[in-house]
Amino acid sequence: YAPPVDSANVPPSRGRGGGNAGPPAPVQVGYPTDRDRGGPPQGPLVLPGSYTVRVTIPGKAPLTGHVVVEADPLTKFGTADRATRQALLMEIYDWTRALGEAREAVARLASQHDAIAADVGAPADSLNARVARLSTDADRAFRGVDGQRGPIEGWSGLPSIDQRKALGYAIDAASDVIVELDKLVTTDIPAAYRAAGKSWTNAVNSVVAPGG
Strands (E), the chain: 12-14, 20-24, 49-55, 63-69
Q: What is the Cα–Cα distance from 210 to 92, expressed in whole angstroms?
A: 10
Q: pLDDT-derived band of residue 212, with 50, 70 and 90 as boundaries?
A: low
Contact yes or no for 173/96 (Cβ under 8 A): no
Q: What is the Cα–Cα distance from 4 to 104, expressed in whole angstroms?
A: 13
pLDDT cut 70: percent of the chain above it: 84
What does the pLDDT read at residue 12?
Answer: 39
DSSP-derived 3-state class of residue 127: helix
pTM: 0.81
What's the mean pLDDT in 81-93? 95
Cα dihedral 67→69→70→72 (10° resolution): 140
What does the pLDDT read at residue 75?
Answer: 83
What's the mean pLDDT in 58-70? 93
What's the mean pLDDT in 148-160? 91
Q: pLDDT-derived band of residue 36, with 50, 70 and 90 as boundaries?
A: very low
What does the pLDDT read at residue 38?
Answer: 55
Q: Nearest CA to 154 among 70, 96, 75? A: 75
Q: Nearest CA to 32 among 1, 14, 10? A: 10
